[in-house]
Amino acid sequence: MSSDFKPMSVPELKEMAKIIRTDIIEMIHEAQSGHPGGSLSAADIVTALYFRMLRVDPENPGWPDRDRFILSKGHACPVWYAALAERGFFDKAHLRTLRKLGSILQGHADMKKTPGVDMTVGSLGQGICAGVGMALSGKLRGKDYHVWVVVGDGECQEGSVWEAAMAGNKWHLDNLTVIVDKNGIQNDWFVAEEMPVDPLNDKWRAFGWHVLEIDGHDMAQIVEALETALTIKGKPTCVIAHTVKGKGVSFMENVPAWHGKAPTTEQAEIALKEIKEAA
């Protein structure tokens, strides 16, 4: 970790989350393509990870002992790109190139193009599988890094998620934490109506994981849960974060249509104003 990095306090994290949300709206508006809903729902979680929890070095992205982070719900990569830029992995000017030909910021994160990305993401359910592999590798090599994976609740419909959950339990991967961004909406409609996944807490416990449930927009709860995860021994941890899709922008909140739609200029202006004025 870079020597000048100081983990942010909860009030500082709240302010940074507003900056991350601003970046998300601006880059998706500029691209006129992208996924604002799930990016905004994960903004507080990703902010807490990058500005409080993760041991990473922007000047040395490939540092062997760094913590690993995977956004398994890869379509929400604008939140990942915003965090990486604000953390100093690349110049913020790149955010304006989202989804453009030749950009380092593609529609799904590419580890060969984007500094700080440890896993190329796209097909849902695969990020958590890679996370299990990274955590197991760390155990076998005696490394002390931690692996953090964010998955969506719609993504939990994928069988590979539960295969990975079984493996995490089998190998006692207490260096692995999965955070479920439980915003209740997937690509087409509400998760509970498309293919119910609840009760998620009981499912993860049945697979042998330590389970925590939090308000995924309460920064103090997020920090407490993530710090608790580091203390759990003998098993992996799953943090179920109850979130709101499109959080921070009134007309996007809990509206399935904003899963993958860019705002107009007028809508972007309204969204940015609401984010700026939020408590």
| H or E segment and range at residue 150 | strand 147-152
d(CA 210, CA 177): 9
Question: pLDDT, tens digit, for every residue of 168-227?
Answer: 999 999 999 999 999 998 988 999 988 999 999 999 999 999 999 999 999 999 999 999
Q: What is the CATH number of the domain that holds 58?
A: 3.40.50.970
pLDDT at 2 over 70: no
State residue 89's pLDDT score. 95
d(CA 50, CA 273): 25
Q: pLDDT-based confidence at 110, cuts 50/70/90? A: very high
Would residue 208 count as lying in a domain? yes
State residue 67's pLDDT score. 97
Question: pLDDT, tens digit, for every residue of 167-179?
Answer: 999 999 999 999 9
Q: What pairs with residue 29 in β-bridges?
A: none
pLDDT at 1 over 80: no
Question: pLDDT, tens digit, for every residue of 128-177?
Answer: 999 999 999 999 999 999 999 999 999 999 999 999 999 999 999 999 99
The percentage of the chain sitting over the pLDDT mark of 90, rounded to a whole number, equals 85
Which domain, by its residues, includes 73? Answer: 10-277
For 34, 45, 46, 78, 196, the CA distances from 83, given in Å and listed in that order, are 16, 11, 7, 9, 31
pLDDT at 4 over 90: no
Dump the DSSP string for 20-46: HHHHHHHHHHHHT-S-HHHHHHTHHHH
State residue 258's pLDDT score. 83
State residue 10's pLDDT score. 97
Instruction: Say which DSSP state 7 is in.
Output: P
What is the three-class DSSP state of 236?
coil
**Domain count of the fold of the chain:** 1
Would residue 177 count as lying in a domain? yes
Would residue 68 count as lying in a domain? yes
CA 56-61-65 angle, to 5 degrees, is 55
Answer whether 86's CB lies under 8 Å from 110's CB: no
Question: pLDDT, tens digit, for every residue of 71-92?
Answer: 999 899 999 999 999 999 999 9
Instruction: Say which DSSP state 54 is in.
Output: -
Would residue 2 count as lying in a domain? no
pTM for the whole structure: 0.94
Q: What is the phi/psi pair of residue 8, to 5°?
A: -75, 150
Would residue 1 count as lying in a domain? no
Would residue 145 count as lying in a domain? yes
Q: What counts of helices (H) and strands (E) characterise the chain?
A: 10, 5
Would residue 5 count as lying in a domain? no
Question: pLDDT, tens digit, for every residue of 42-74?
Answer: 999 999 999 999 999 999 999 999 999 999 998
Would residue 234 count as lying in a domain? yes
- Using the Cα atoms of residue 22, residue 25, residue 30 and residue 36 in order, give the sign of their dihedral: positive
